[in-house]
Chains A and B, each alone.
Chain A
Amino acid sequence: ETGVTQSPTHLIKTRGQQVTLRCSSQSGHNTVSWYQQALGQGPQFIFQYYREEENGRGNFPPRFSGLQFPNYSSELNVNALELDDSALYLCASSLGRGGYNEQFFGPGTRLTVL
């Protein structure tokens, strides 16, 4: 496997609640990217963290926020959950910004908003 882990595996929340998803990157990787994958769609880029700083953001509202810690693990926080936030949330780790190195994906967290 990739060595990228995510928790929890599954989560059920209700509209308006807040959620925190966690990702541990592969050993030696300093960059974490988060993606949202709705059913039947490809993953959509949310944001990327490089050495604890946000390094690029996709077309997601500010209620999607994140953190990266000194050990390069990362959190994705979503406030004021909406029904459309129901999706598979994937994190991917890589070594450094730019370049052509592979991004390694974790197994994802499946979020259901009721």
Chain B
Amino acid sequence: RKEVEQDPGPFNVPEGATVAFNCTYSNSASQSFFWYRQDCRKEPKLLMSVYSSGNEDGRFTAQLNRASQYISLLIRDSKLSDSATYLCVVNPQGSARQLTFGSGTQLTVLP
């Protein structure tokens, strides 16, 4: 079983749609959680951290369920510029900064 598993995608949605990505992780001791965004042939960039209480940043909402070891990302009112690969990322060891990435979910927002 992979340490971080994501929806395989790809997701093709019309502009203005709401889209949700899901992710599960296997290490119950994982300390911190993130969503990164990676544009084609570019480096990953932090989209947002994910907290147990849930957090929102504009059109983006992230949720964490520690009991189910489940992370989600909701994008409302999709824009063409949201087209990218979204990577679910877990830090399995709180004392080290290594990150464990999922394989990513590709999103294409269509005009």
Chain A interfacial positions (CB closer than 8 Å to B)? 2, 31, 33, 35, 40-45, 48, 50, 55-56, 58, 90, 92, 94, 96-100, 102-103, 105-108
Interface residues in B73-111 by Cβ distance below 8 A to A read 87, 89, 93-104
Report the minimal beta-carbon distance from A51 to chain B, rounded to whole angstroms. 13
Interface residues, chain B, CB within 8 Å of chain A?
4, 32, 42-46, 49, 87, 89, 93-104
Residues of B within 8 A of A96 (CB): 97
A97, B102: Cβ atoms under 8 Å?
no
Q: Which of B4, B96, B100, B103 contacts A98 (CB 8 A)?
A: B96
Cα of A50 to Cα of B97 in the assembled complex, Å:
10
With contacts A41-B103, A42-B87, A42-B102 known, is A98 near B43, CB below 8 A?
A: no
A55–B89 Cα distance when bound, in Å, is 19
CB-based contact A107/B42 at 8 Å: yes
Is the Cβ of A48 less than 8 Å from the Cβ of B96? yes
Q: How far is the CA of A99 from the CA of B32 in the complex (A)?
A: 9
The one of B46, B87, B94, B97 that contacts A48, using a Cβ cutoff of 8 Å: B97
A76 to chain B, nearest CB (A): 15
